[in-house]
């Protein structure tokens, strides 16, 4: 552990945090930070190899970690993510819905239907379904984090539908869902 990491506080001691799409990129960094602050973290993504590598890296930093394969639009794999978390840790305190897709850079009026379906499915629908599945285990004080983007506030013409799915996530944060 680096000197900088040793200075980090332990705000998440005793907490259990699920982060989707967390074997690389922003999701991995979120999982790492939560873990360094004391949480037991559950990392997940589509590929077993990536999950295994992320688990190894986090364990090497002294973080309590469980790895589960979960492609977020796969219902069975979402269920596995929740069930394996609860089997191992008995509860869920934090859910970070981080997975997103942005398969093409195309103008809205030229965006293929398959791309429209994919960005809504991964970026929005899977987030809502994951929350529905996690809800029975969340309690007062639990946290749900939906990773949006600056493009949610300012959609750009070349990635308009991606941006608007991120606007939808901002809308979801305005709801008192529990």
Binding of ligand NAP by 23 (CB under 6 A) = yes
# residues near ligand NAP by CB under 6 A = 20
Among the options 89, 137, 153, 162, which is catalytic? 162
Distance of CA 66 to the CA centre of its chain: 14
Q: Which of 26, 129, 131, 135 binds ligand NAP (CB under 6 A)?
A: 26
Binding of ligand NAP by 31 (CB under 6 A) = no
The CB-nearest residue to ligand NAP is: 25
Which residue number, 14 or 66, has a Cβ lying nearer to ligand NAP? 66
Which residue number, 23 or 85, has a Cβ lying nearer to ligand NAP? 23
Q: Which of 33, 38, 71, 172 binds ligand NAP (CB under 6 A)?
A: 71
The two structure tokens encoding residue 177:
């869902």
What length does the chain have? Answer: 178
Give least dist CB 37 to ligand NAP, A: 19
In this structure, which long-range contacts are made by residues 88-91, counting pairs with CB atoms below 8 Å and at least 24 apart in sequence?
89/16, 89/40, 89/42, 90/16, 91/16, 91/137, 91/139
How far is it, in rounded angstroms, from Cα 20 to Cα 96? 6
State the first-to-last Cα distance of the chain, in angstroms, to the nearest integer.
Answer: 38
Binding of ligand NAP by 27 (CB under 6 A) = yes
Closest CA to 146 of 85, 91, 72: 72
How far is it, in rounded angstroms, from Cα 178 to Cα 166? 21
Q: Which of the stretches 15-23, 55-63, 83-91, 137-145 binds ligand NAP when contact is defined by CB under 6 A?
A: 15-23
For the question of residue 153 being annotated catalytic, the response is no
Per-residue binding string, ligand NAP, 106-125, x by CB under 6 A, is ----------------x---
Residues catalogued as catalytic: 162
């Amino acid at each position: 552990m680096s000197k900088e990491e040793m200075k980090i506080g332990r705000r998440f001691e005793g907490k259990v945090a699920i982060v989707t799409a967390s074997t690389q990129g922003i999701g991995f960094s979120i999982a790492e930070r939560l873990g360094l602050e004391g949480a037991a973290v559950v990392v997940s993504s589509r590929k077993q190899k990536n999950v295994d590598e992320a688990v190894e890296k986090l364990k090497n930093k002294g973080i309590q970690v469980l790895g589960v394969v979960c492609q977020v639009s796969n219902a069975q794999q979402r269920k596995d993510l929740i069930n394996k978390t609860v089997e191992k840790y008995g509860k869920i305190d934090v859910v970070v819905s981080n997975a997103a897709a942005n398969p093409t850079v195309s103008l809205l009026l030229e965006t293929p239907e398959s791309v429209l379906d994919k960005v809504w499915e991964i970026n929005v629908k899977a987030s809502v379904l994951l929350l529905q599945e996690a809800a029975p285990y969340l309690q007062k004080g639990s946290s749900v984090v939906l990773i949006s983007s600056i493009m949610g506030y300012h959609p750009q013409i070349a990635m308009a539908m991606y941006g608007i799915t991120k606007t939808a996530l901002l809308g979801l944060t305005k709801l008192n869902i529990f």
